[in-house]
Structures are given as structure tokens and as C-alpha cells.
Amino acid sequence: MCQAISSSSASGDPAAVSKAINAVYAKMVGN
């Protein structure tokens, strides 16, 4: 989970980072 967000941050793509965080948040709330 955190690794995916970290790798996205390293790529320098804010949109990808936001999507990753939103996906993780949605999973936590959904469960």
C-alpha cells in the first residue's frame, strides 16, 4: 500500500499519487 504511493511520488506524477491515495482511502472506508 505505502510502497505503491511512494513509488508514484518518486515518479513525480501528482495525479498518480492522488489516485493511489484515493484508491487506498476508498478501500479502507469500503471495508
Three-class DSSP category at 20: helix
Q: How many domains are there within the chain? A: 1
Residue 11 confidence (pLDDT): 58
pLDDT tens digits along 11-28? 566 777 788 888 888 888
Residue 29 has pLDDT above 80, yes or no: yes
* pLDDT for the residue 28: 84
Print the domain residue range for 14.
1-31
What's the pTM? 0.47
CB of 31 closer than 8 Å to CB of 19: no
For residue 2, is pLDDT > 70?
A: no
Better-scored residue on pLDDT, 9 or 30: 30
